[in-house]
A = this chain, B = another copy of it.
Amino acid sequence: MTNPPSARRTTVHDLAELAGTSASTVSAVLNGSWQKRRISERLANHVTRIAEEQGYALNMQARALRRARSGIIGMILPMYDNRYFSSIAQTFEDMARARGLFPIVTCTQRDPRLELAAARSLLAYQVEYLVCTGATDPDRISRLCSAAGVPTINLDLPGSLAPSVISDNFTGARELTRDILDRASVGAAPSPALFIGGRGSDHNTRERLRGFLAAHEERGLRPEPHQILTCGYAATKAAEALSGFVAAGHPLPRGLFVNSTISLEGVIRWFRQPDSPDLGDIRLGCFDWDPFAEMLSDGIVMMRQDVETMLTTLFRLIETGKPEIRRIEVPPIPLRGRRA
C-alpha cells in the first residue's frame, strides 16, 4: 500500500486560485458548460490545463449531493460464479458505462435478507435505478425503492410492481423437452423424462415445468409426480435427489431435463460415481449454458439465455423514461453439444 502523500485533494477552489478565477468558472469549464456560460476560450483552456497539471479528480460524492443525481445504477445479483450470472454482470457493466452510468453490482446469494440489505445499501449510496436480478422477493425491493423515489426493473425473475425482462421459459423448456424426448425415443419406446433442479416456488421453474409437461402432452406422455425433482439449485441437492430417486426403486428415465448448470454439475458428478449408471445412455438437456458443460456430454442441448438481448431491452426500458409495468420475454437460444 502506498502512503497518502497529499493530505487534502485538489478541489475546484484550489484550481480557481491557481487559475486566478472563481470556483464557479472552474466548475463550468470542467463540466463543458463553459460555452453556455460564454466563458472565453482562453480562460477555459487555461483552467483545463491547470486541472490536468494538478491531476485534479472530481469528487463525485459532492457533485451527486449537489445535483441530487448520482449517476449510479445498481444491480443485485444472486451470485457471480456461473456463466449465466457472470455474463449478466459483465454485459450490464459494459452497457451501463456506454450510457454514462456508473454500475454497481452486488451479490446476494438468493437470500431475501441479503437482497433487502443490499438494496438498502445501494439506496444509501443514492443509486438512480436498481435492477433486481433473480430476486426472491422483487416486489418487496420495488416497494422499498419506490418509497425513496428510485425506479426498479426486474431481470430473470419477474415481479408485479416493476417492468420485468425475463427469458421465455415456457417456450424454451418445451423446445428443450421435445428435443430430449425425441432423442430418448430413438430405438426405445417413448417414455417420460426426469425433471431436476430449481425451486417449485419460483416463477421460472414453474414456467419451465409447464413447458416440460406441454412437450410430454404433445406426445401423449405424462410424467409421474415423482419424476419432477425440484430440489433447489445447489449442485449437492441435485445429486442427493438422484440418489433418493434411485434408492426409492424408480428406474432412471432415458431423458433428463436439468434446470440450470448449477444443478447440472451435481447431476454429472452423481453419474460419475462408480456405482452410477452410464451417463452415455442418458439424453440430456439443460436450461442454461456453460461452454465446458456443452463439451462434456455428447448431444447435450443447452438453452442459452439471451443475456445480450435481455439487457439491451432492459436499458431501452430505462431510456424511454417511465414505461408501464409489463413483462417482456426473450427467447433463449438452443445450443447443441457434438452429437453422439
Binding site for B on A (CB under 8 A): 1-7, 9, 55, 57-62, 64-65, 70, 79-83, 86-87, 89-90, 93-94, 102-107, 120-121, 123-126, 129, 142, 144-153, 161-163, 261, 265, 268-269, 272, 290-293, 295-296, 317-318, 322-323, 325, 338
A87, B93: Cβ atoms closer than 8 Å = no
Q: In the complex, what residues of B have CB within 8 A of residue A7's CB?
A: 149
Copies of this chain in the oligomer: 2
Q: In the complex, what residues of B have CB within 8 A of residue A144's CB?
A: 55
Q: In the complex, what residues of B have CB within 8 A of residue A94's CB?
A: 107
Q: Nearest residue in B to A269 (C-beta to C-beta)? A: B295
A144 to B57, CA, bound (A): 10
Q: In the complex, what residues of B have CB within 8 A of residue A55's CB?
A: 144, 147-148
What is the predominant secondary structure among interface residues of chain A facing chain B? mixed
Q: Nearest residue in B to A55 (C-beta to C-beta)? A: B147
Q: Knowing A57-B123, A80-B90, A124-B60 are in contact, say whether A322-B3 is a contact too (CB < 8 A).
A: yes
Q: Quote the shortest CB–CB distance from A169 to chain B (angstroms).
A: 22
* Beyond A89-B89, A103-B106, 7 additional pairs, beta carbon < 8 A: A1-B317, A4-B150, A61-B65, A80-B86, A81-B90, A93-B106, A265-B291
8 Å CB contact of A1 from B57, B59, B162:
B162
B2, A145: Cβ atoms closer than 8 Å = yes
B149, A9: Cβ atoms closer than 8 Å = yes
Q: In the complex, what residues of B have CB within 8 A of residue A81's CB?
A: 83, 86-87, 90
A321 to B6, CA, bound (A): 17
